[in-house]
Structure 1
Amino acid sequence: MLVETGGLGEHSLACMSSGIGDFRSKAVGGLTLDSAVRRQNSKTSAPSEKVADGAPTEIPKALHDTRSIALVVIALLLALFALRIGAAFFIPLMISIMLTYALSPAVNRLERWHLPRPIGAALVMVLLIAAGTAAAYRAGTDAEALLEQLPRAVEKVRLAVSSWQRAAPGPLEHVKRTATELEKLAGVAAPTTPAPAASSQTPPAIDMRSVLLIGTGSVVIALGQLASVLFLTYFLLAAGDLFRRKLVYLAGPPLARQKTMLSILQEIHALNQRYFAVVVLINVTVGIFTGLGLYFLGLEHAELWGLAITVLHTIPYLGAALVAAAVGLASYLQFGSAQMALLAGGIPVIASIILGIWLQTMLMGRAARMNAASVFISLLFWGMLWGAWGLLLAIPMMVGIKTLCDHIEPLKRYSTLLAPAEPAE
């Protein structure tokens, strides 16, 4: 039994050894098989590797561009929403910044005369408040007188239009007469019906308490915003170049970058300061010229019209047109002559053209100029966002944005959208 088992074991061992020998021989010859398999795998995987190598150069770039555009659109929409919702904050802020640019030359001059800057800023603000209060008081008196004359003026205009239509009936008058005759014929042909009983209901009385509360609330809000503008303007004037120095510090540790930021901020500050100073000077000059012209013409409330053009001249084209129309109407009501109305209405227009366009362009040059399409688009955009304040602040804000784009290299291409056309050689 043991012999058989041993023989069987020897036979098994012999078979196993022969099998292992065969496997080894096959393995020796199978090197070519493994290499062939590896070659086949390398052949099948090579194109996929090539595709994988080429894919990241195209798809991620397109995805990156799409995401960038989407982020820009979302940021713009959020900015518009913030400007619309936060108008009560942004409008006083922008007015304060513009007043700071306009008044800083006077404060700088006082500082060069060895007057401390906070005291100089306080003195300038006191003079500004005094001048504004006097102008508002005078304008309020004239405006009250004009409002008292308004019913008589409306009646006079209605009579003038009626007499003009009777003197020279046109196609519209013939159409009205024809419609009147047709109504008469229809009334004769129609059966007579009893007139409806008059309603005994009386219209609801006006709640004067609500009106007074709403008016008082509006006045309080306006006074609060005015106070915030004055205080913020004073603090900005007293701070001087504090914020510019902090922006230079935030530019980064390299000295070259800080020098570049400092030069850009100085150029932007100088140009904006010059622009707002020139705007204030031009507006005041246009107001004085208009007021004196209307005064020598004999028009009543000439000071009010001069103050109106001083404020509204900030709105290009539209401000002068509104004042000219109002002055022409007031002149016609006072003198009863169309020639006098045209002459009086032409005075603010001439002042705006000569002083507001020619002189301002000569003083400012090309840096602060914009093309007409950009001007009107800016008026529509900011007027939609902030109403009347948007119309007043649109052009000064866009000039500031244009100046910023002119001095920052990545934004220069956007500045060309606002710049005027190149002069023909």
Structure 2
Amino acid sequence: MTELDLRKQGSPPAHVDSALVVRSVSITGIFVILAVFALHAAADILIPITIAYSLNLLLSPLIRRLSKLRIPAPLSAAVVVISFLGISLLSIYALFEPAEEWIQRGPQLTEQVKQKIRPMLGSIEGAQKVAAGVDTLIEDKLAQEPPLNVKVQPDASRLERMLTNTSSALASIGIVVVLLYFLLAAGDTFLNKLVSIIPKFKDKRRAVEIIREIQRDTSRYLITRTLINIGLGAVVAFALAMLGMPNPILWGTLAALLNFAPYVGPAISLSIMTVAAIISFDTLPEALLVPLTVLLINILEGEFISHQLIGKRLALSPVIVFMSIVFWGWIWGIAGALMAIPIIAAINVVCQHVDSLNPVSEFIRDTND
């Protein structure tokens, strides 16, 4: 028997290889579908955990600085969590009333925008005649109707309305606060326990490298992005105040928060501010100055600041970033869209350290930078 015959005898048939490939792909597809379903089904638990872990990475540098002053970790964690929670609640309290006012006007905004734009798109005289005719019909109709007895209830305080509207989120907020405290107070305890249960030293080392790199990259990203967004919100608020836009601090805060989701977030905030500007100003040219100004600020921030400080460091493909924001927004809503980049960055780090997943990392990374 020749060597060729032995090689042919030892190699499996082609149809067996094809069957194994099909089976492997099928198992992978089923696993992905189940994983997506599990992420969506467990959103109420996973979202607070992810938010708490992200805040832990954001606030950990403060704990380390306080530890250098020989302040115990539990006390440092309590001070940081209480301070962060207090600042957040005060900010929500200050912005709740103007935000609630705009939300209540939501059903009327479409008609108001049409009324503002219609004179610019058609004959002003014709629109005025139609409006006058509608006003006459409404007045005649109201004159024929008997008066209604309406009891006006006193307005609830801002704090009462805020607690009523946010009662459904108190459980999630409680989970975030408690878990954040334990994560900050524990420090590297969970990492040490994870390493201790791994049997091989090589695997221990790789696990530590992966976790440390995820923590370092995510922490740097969150801190840098937070500082950039605070500056962006301040600039937007100042610019809109100069243009005479009402509630400029509210719009600056909206721009800062939604900027955590690149591409999608600025587009949403720009659309909302465009509608608000059309309602707030008498003429369309004055109103269009608001979105044009905000668009210019977003372009400068995205192309020159974020690209230099964040884009080159993470080196993530813009297409993958956009797809990640859409996917996690679909799975977890607004919270998922805001946390999409830290999640995809963590996945990229894991893929870089696992040989079999290196092709996935090459797909995620931006090779142009």
Match of 1:292 in 2: 238
How far apart, CA to CA, are the structure 2 residues paired with 1:335 and 1:112?
Answer: 53
Compute the displacement of 1:259 (Å).
3.2
One-letter code aligned to 2:304: W
| Structure 1 residues 57 and 310: CA distance shift in structure 2, 3 A | same
Q: Percentage identity across aligned positions?
A: 28
- Is it true that 1:228 corresponds to 2:175 in the alignment? yes
RMSD, matched Cα: 3.1
Compute the displacement of 1:61 (Å).
5.1
Q: Is the CA contact 2:67–2:76 (under 8 Å) kept in the aligned structure 1?
A: yes
**Greater alpha carbon shift after TM alignment, 408-417 vs 226-235:** 408-417
- Is it true that 1:157 corresponds to 2:113 in the alignment? yes
Q: How many residues align?
A: 331
Match of 2:184 in 1: 237
How far apart, CA to CA, are the structure 1 residues paired with 2:107 and 2:344?
Answer: 40
The answer to which structure, 1 or 2, has the higher relative contact order (CA under 8 A, 6+ apart) is 2
Q: Is the CA contact 1:327–1:341 (under 8 Å) kept in the aligned structure 2?
A: no
Match of 2:40 in 1: 84
| Structure 1 residues 282 and 403: CA distance shift in structure 2, 3 A | farther
Q: Is the CA contact 2:251–2:273 (under 8 Å) kept in the aligned structure 1?
A: yes
How far apart, CA to CA, are the structure 1 residues paired with 2:252 and 2:262?
Answer: 16
SS of corresponding position for 1:422: coil
Give per-residue Cα distances to partners, 1:9-65, cap 9 Å, x unaligned.
Answer: xxxxxxxxxxxxxxxxxxxxxxxxxxxxxxxxxx9xxxxx97995355767655544
Compute the displacement of 1:313 (Å).
0.9
Match of 2:196 in 1: 249
Aligned with residue 72 of structure 1, among 28, 47, 51: 28
Match of 1:282 in 2: 228
Q: Is the CA contact 1:320–1:348 (under 8 Å) kept in the aligned structure 2?
A: no
Compute the displacement of 1:80 (Å).
1.2
Give per-residue Cα distances to partners, 1:378-417, cap 9 Å, x unaligned.
Answer: 2332222223332222222112212322333332210111
| Structure 1 residues 224 and 286: CA distance shift in structure 2, 3 A | same
| Structure 1 residues 400 and 349: CA distance shift in structure 2, 3 A | farther
How far apart, CA to CA, are the structure 1 residues paired with 2:45 and 2:58?
Answer: 20
Give matches, 1:223-372, under 5 Å: 223-254=170-201, 256-372=202-318
Q: Is the CA contact 1:290–1:306 (under 8 Å) kept in the aligned structure 2?
A: yes
| Structure 1 residues 276 and 119: CA distance shift in structure 2, 3 A | same
- Is it true that 1:392 corresponds to 2:348 in the alignment? no
SS of corresponding position for 1:102: helix
| Structure 1 residues 59 and 251: CA distance shift in structure 2, 3 A | farther
Gaps of 5+ in 2: 128-162
**Greater alpha carbon shift after TM alignment, 140-149 vs 405-414:** 140-149
TM-score by length of 2: 0.79
Gaps of 5+ in 1: 1-42, 44-48, 174-215
Q: Is the CA contact 1:92–1:229 (under 8 Å) kept in the aligned structure 2?
A: yes
Q: Is the CA contact 2:263–2:322 (under 8 Å) kept in the aligned structure 1?
A: no
**Which of the two has higher C-alpha Rg?**
1
